[in-house]
């Protein structure tokens, strides 16, 4: 499994291109579609799926252009799906022009599996940042894509629409039971590990 990390948009979202044997999954294409497409073409990858960890515009803003470019489906947590198409409206609060995302094609729920050649990503429902936030866990490589649930020495906001502090705390406890050496690829900022967060994250002590 190989992982390409692209920092996209004004809010500096981490877009991940996860690939194996030239087939790829695009996680959180929040903006800068041309930048994402360029990397995919340079590496001669064949995207099969877009996955949004949650509906916020900074994680879904390039959905439309990526979907059109590669004719691939969009997947999102089942409880975030109804908010996806209107998420772009929130961009104007940040003086950002964002494109409306198409409707999700695939609705993900707990323990669903996304397979790509030798890669298997397991869906973990982690409400709190949004009601339908998800994380994606690859057991073989000890990797977690945490969206905006867990960051390096921080956690996601819970004061936005559909956010909930108590749900977020439960979700964090859930993912922090993964093995200590699990590498966490968050929605913003540098990667980390479960071990580091258990010892250093002030929000989960």
Whole-number average pLDDT of the chain? 96
Fold topology of 2-200? Metallo-beta-lactamase; Chain A (3.60.15)
Q: What are the pLDDT digits (tens) for 9-19? A: 999 999 999 99
pLDDT, average across residues 145-173: 97
Q: Please tell me the distance from the alpha carbon of residue 160 to that of residue 99, in angstroms, as a whole number.
A: 20
The confidence score (pLDDT) of residue 96 equals: 81
The residue ranges of every structural domain in the chain are 2-200
Q: Does 133 have pLDDT greater than 80? A: yes
Q: Where are the beta strands (DSSP E) in 96-195?
A: 106-108, 113-116, 119-125, 134-138, 143-147, 150-151, 154-155, 183-186, 192-193
The confidence score (pLDDT) of residue 156 equals: 97
The confidence score (pLDDT) of residue 93 equals: 77
Q: Does 63 have pLDDT greater than 80? A: yes
Q: What are the pLDDT digits (tens) for 143-156? A: 999 999 999 999 99
Q: How confident is the model at residue 59 (pLDDT cuts 50, 70, 90)?
A: very high
Q: Does 97 have pLDDT greater than 80? A: no
**Residues of the chain above pLDDT 70, percent:** 100
The confidence score (pLDDT) of residue 94 equals: 78
Q: What are the pLDDT digits (tens) for 83-92? A: 999 999 888 8
Q: What are the pLDDT digits (tens) for 69-88? A: 999 999 999 999 999 999 99
The model carries a pTM of 0.96
Task: Tell me, rounded to whole angstroms, the distance of Cα 63 from its chain centroid.
Answer: 12
Give the strand order in the sheet containing 113-116.
113-116, 119-125, 134-138, 143-147, 183-186, 192-193
Residue 99 DSSP one-character state: P
The confidence score (pLDDT) of residue 98 equals: 82
Q: Does 40 have pLDDT greater than 80? A: yes
């Amino acid at each position: 499994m190989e992982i390409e990390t692209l920092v996209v948009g004004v809010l500096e979202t981490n877009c991940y291109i996860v690939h194996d044997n030239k087939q790829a999954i695009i996680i959180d294409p929040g903006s800068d579609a041309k930048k994402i497409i360029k990397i995919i073409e340079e590496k001669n990858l064949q995207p099969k799926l877009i996955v949004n960890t949650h509906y916020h515009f900074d994680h879904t803003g390039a959905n439309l252009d990526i979907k059109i470019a590669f004719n691939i489906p969009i997947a999102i947590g089942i409880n975030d799906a109804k908010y996806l198409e209107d998420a772009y409206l929130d961009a104007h609060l940040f003086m950002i022009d964002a494109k409306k995302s198409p409707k999700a094609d695939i609705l993900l729920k707990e323990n669903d599996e996304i397979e790509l050649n030798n890669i298997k990503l397991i869906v973990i429902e982690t409400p709190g940042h949004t009601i339908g936030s998800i994380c994606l866990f690859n057991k073989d490589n000890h990797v977690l894509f945490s969206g905006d649930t867990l960051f390096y020495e921080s956690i996601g906001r819970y004061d936005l629409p559909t956010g909930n502090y108590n749900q977020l705390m439960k979700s964090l406890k859930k993912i922090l039971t993964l093995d200590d050496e699990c590498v966490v690829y968050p929605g913003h900022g540098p990667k980390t590990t479960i071990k580091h967060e258990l010892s250093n994250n002030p929000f989960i002590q």
